[in-house]
Amino acid sequence: MSDFALLTAANLGVTLAGRAVLHDVSLSLQPKHLVALVGPNGAGKTTLLRALAGLQASTGTIQVGGEALSALSLRERAKRFGYLPQGHVVHWPLDVKDVVALGRYPHGGTDPARLSATDEAAVQRAMQATEVMPFAARRVTELSGGERSRVALARVLAVEAPIVLADEPTASLDPRYQLDVMKNLRKVADDGVLVIVVTHDLGLAARFADTVLVMSDGRLVAHGAPSKALSDTIMADVFRISAYRADYRSETVILPWSGI
């Protein structure tokens, strides 16, 4: 696995409404990694994700592929990051394929009906990866919650960015769809992309992530492999819980078990 740091941050801080919500966060993340960003409510997870993408003003420095994020144009930033916000609700009755095609906008694909061959191929790959081809011509507003979540992920994958940021992509989904989303993101990471996922599901984080970042009160308090970052001490101090631990089919199982 490459040692090249695709995304780095040094002394990152964010202040909102006069209150510091992110404090001195530094990290270095590589391609081909799925990174789970976890922590209690209000820990600063979404703020950190938005700051890394340049969507939230911050202090400190961020580099993407060795270049300063602050030096990149908005269009270039949009090419470097595929961003899936919380909720990912589409209110317009667009066809599924047209929604996915929105992911090509940073590359100049402004009209879904007139995509270049390159853009068309990217849209097809994204739809195939998320298994939404069967309802490509349906209105996205007619789909189930699980289907809409897959369409939203396909839009992000259609960007074909080297970094994918997903904010709680499994929230409110049935267990099967939660697993489908995480398996898709795991495959994307295995194909060479850096994937950062905000999640409250520590079990999914432990199973699918190479690296876990633990946030608490706006600070990065643990960073490492799931078994290390989600240690008994972190579970108790940050999450106020104990956990059941096991290995199943060569995969790590960490299951929140009881409050402390």
The helix (run of H) or strand (run of E) holding residue 60 is strand 59-64
Give the model confidence (pLDDT) of 24-61 as tens digits.
Answer: 999 999 999 999 999 999 999 999 999 999 999 999 99
Is residue 194 domain-resident?
Answer: yes
Residue at token pair 């209690």: 40
Q: Clarify whether residues 105 and 132 are in a common domain.
A: yes
- Same domain assignment for residues 7 and 21: yes
- Calpha distance 250→22 (Å, rounded): 36
Residues 124-129: what's their mean pLDDT?
94
Pair (186, 143) in one structural domain: no
Give the separation between CA 184 and CA 131, rounded to whole angstroms.
Answer: 10
Mean pLDDT of 184-189: 93
Query: What letter would DSSP give residue 96?
Result: H
For residue 71, being part of any structural domain is answered with no
Residue 177 lies in a domain: yes
Note whether 204 and 253 are within 8 A (CB): no
Confidence of residue 1 (pLDDT cuts 50, 70, 90): very low
Residue 249: other Cβ atoms inside 10 A: 5
pLDDT tens track for 141-161: 999 888 888 899 999 999 999
| Residue 2: pLDDT over 60 | no
Q: What are phi and psi of 94, to 5 degrees?
A: -85, 155
241 domain residue, yes or no: no
Query: Exposed (0-12), middle (13-18) or buried (19+): which is 164, by Cβ within 10 Å?
Result: buried
Q: Of 142, 161, 180, which one is at a domain's C-terminal end?
A: 161
Confidence band (pLDDT; 50, 70, 90) for 88?
low
Asked if residue 123 and residue 99 are part of one domain, the reply reads yes
**Is residue 191 in some structural domain?**
yes
**131 and 17, same domain (yes or no):** no
In the chain, pLDDT over 70 holds for what percent of residues?
98
Do 23 and 143 belong to one domain? no
- Expressed as residue numbers, the domain containing 6 is 1-65+162-229
Same domain, 138 and 166: no
- CA 117 → CA 75, 114, 122, 131, 152, distances in Å? 20, 9, 9, 21, 22
Is residue 172 one of the residues assigned to a domain?
Answer: yes
Check whether 112 has a pLDDT greater than 90.
no
Same domain, 135 and 19: no
Residue 26 inside a domain? The answer is yes
Confirm whether 243 is domain-assigned.
Answer: no
Domain boundary residue, one of 161, 177, 193: 161
Q: Which of 243, 260, 241, 242 is nearest to 252 (CA)?
A: 243
Total number of domains constituting the chain? 2
Residues 176 and 195 in one domain: yes
Domain boundary among 102, 136, 161: 161
56 shares a domain with 178: yes
Supply the pTM of this predicted model.
0.93
Cβ atoms of 233 and 246 within 8 Å: the answer is no
Q: Same structural domain for residues 188 and 141?
A: no
Cα dist. 41→197, 206, 221 in Å? Answer: 15, 19, 15
Question: Residues 20, 61: one domain?
Answer: yes
Q: Residue 161 is encoded by which pair of tokens?
A: 């960015």
